[in-house]
Structure 1
Amino acid sequence: MKQIDALAGTATSGSPRNVAPASTDPSAIGVVLTEFTALRNEIDNLASAHRTMINLNLTVVVAVIGLVLANRVDQHLLLALPLASAAIGLVYQWYVLHAKNIGDYIDQTLRPLLAEYTNDDRVLAWEHQLRTTVYRRRGSAIAGQLSYILLFPSVPVVSLVATVHILDTPWYWVAWCTGVVLSVAQLTIWWVQARHWVCWT
């Protein structure tokens, strides 16, 4: 465990170094690769969940706005958008953060460990490449920020502004205020996380 922690600390300061292999036992390498495969599968599952959350949010938004514009339902139904979209957005943020944590573990722990076992610092290099090159590109950072804002926070904010003049009962005010709280929470969490996520810096 101490060896793994030490290797993880080395990874945060730069690329793994070519060092004498600590083990040439194929079973040790196999253990690392097995864990890597399991974690990559979990990332794939999270990516699928990301797409599900995006599709769910778009479906809810299009359905509600379409019904209101067609005058088939009362405009007060727009109050549901801040509640639904903010809730979906918070779940989406959790999925993204969890995937990032898995990627950090692969880059900072499994990659240096396998590099030591194989005496080759090129192994499992994709996560490191993402954090040092791909996500550092300005276009990637802007795209990541704008896509999230357009998909999630923008809808609740517009809905809150559009419904403030039709709050004619206490229950509508409660729904509106709840939407404000959820939207502020969503934007606050996004802002805090965006300061630490490599792809948004």
Structure 2
Amino acid sequence: MTQADRDVREGALAEYAALRSEITTRISAQHQMLALHMTAVSVVFSVALSGGARWPVLLVIPFVSYTSSEILASLFHTVEAIARYIDEELSPKVPGGLGWESWLARHRPESELRKLTHPYYLLFPGVSVVSLAAVTPFVWTGGVSAHRFDVSFCGGFRLAHCSRLCRTVLQSRSQAPCTVLTMRSTLSRATD
């Protein structure tokens, strides 16, 4: 092995270590975002349940869910892109390859049932449905005097978008090289 070959290999291994560290950092950010989302939703539900006239505060939840899912989607795509770069660009530069990302892609879960029962359906569109269902009687019985159609339309739009995001991430589970590791803590593509 020539010095140039050793330099290429060492450079690829150093870059691999830095990129794996970046993936770890982004996955940690995903966990923090999930915890923040669950805390925010809990606080909003607590405020709504603490008094009879506070039900309209539940209309915030679809927007919180949408924003959280978009941030998670962004983090997911970055992790996915890094994993793809490691597999396609760095692995060929190292004798024997860097097989982790390829191994993950080959050993992805095949169960459709797991996709349909993924917790993200409950965490993002699920809490939005519950909050909209809880506030609907208040909105339609005169508790909110103006823009009833706008409120329910916007909430429904955000709910549909969160649902589409969850569906996209679960469908991509079988395509992304790093999905087995990251899908437990990420969301979906925001730009499909």
Q: The TM-score by the shorter chain falls in which range?
A: 0.7 to 0.9
In structure 2, C-alpha distance between the alignment counterparts of 1:169 and 1:53, rounded to whole Å: 35
For the pair 1:149 / 2:125, whether they are aligned, the reply is no
State the SS of the aligned residue for 2:93.
helix
**103-112 or 21-30, larger mean C-alpha shift:** 21-30
Are residues 39 and 172 of structure 1, via their aligned partners in 2, closer, same or farther at CA, if it must alter by over 3 Å?
farther
For the pair 1:185 / 2:161, whether they are aligned, the reply is yes
| 1:24-45 CA-partner distances (Å, limit 9, x unpaired) | 6211112211221221122112
Are residues 158 and 26 of structure 1, via their aligned partners in 2, closer, same or farther at CA, if it must alter by over 3 Å?
same
Aligned to 2:37: 57
* Of 129, 145, 158, the match for 1:169: 145
For the pair 1:66 / 2:46, whether they are aligned, the reply is yes
For the pair 1:136 / 2:109, whether they are aligned, the reply is yes
* Of 99, 103, 111, the match for 1:125: 99
In structure 1, C-alpha distance between the alignment counterparts of 2:21 and 2:46, rounded to whole Å: 37
* Structure 1 position 86, deviation (Å): 1.7
TM-score (norm 2): 0.77
In structure 2, C-alpha distance between the alignment counterparts of 1:38 and 1:103, rounded to whole Å: 12
Contact 1:86 1:156 in 2 (8 A): no
* Of 153, 173, 182, the match for 1:197: 173
| 1:48-80 CA-partner distances (Å, limit 9, x unpaired) | 110111011111111111222232761111111
For the pair 1:42 / 2:25, whether they are aligned, the reply is no
* Structure 1 position 190, deviation (Å): 3.0
* Structure 1 position 22, deviation (Å): 9.8
In structure 2, C-alpha distance between the alignment counterparts of 1:161 and 1:62, rounded to whole Å: 16
In structure 2, C-alpha distance between the alignment counterparts of 1:25 and 1:109, rounded to whole Å: 15
1:78-89 alignment to 2 at 5 Å?
Answer: 78-89=58-69
The aligned amino acid for 2:45 is I
Q: How many residues align?
A: 172
State the SS of the aligned residue for 1:170.
coil
Contact 1:87 1:182 in 2 (8 A): no
Percent of residue pairs bearing the same amino acid type: 24
Q: Runs of 5+ in structure 1 lacking a partner? A: 1-20
* Structure 1 position 143, deviation (Å): 6.5
Aligned to 2:190: none
* Structure 1 position 169, deviation (Å): 2.5
In structure 2, C-alpha distance between the alignment counterparts of 1:37 and 1:77, rounded to whole Å: 45
Aligned to 2:189: none
Are residues 113 and 185 of structure 1, via their aligned partners in 2, closer, same or farther at CA, if it must alter by over 3 Å?
same
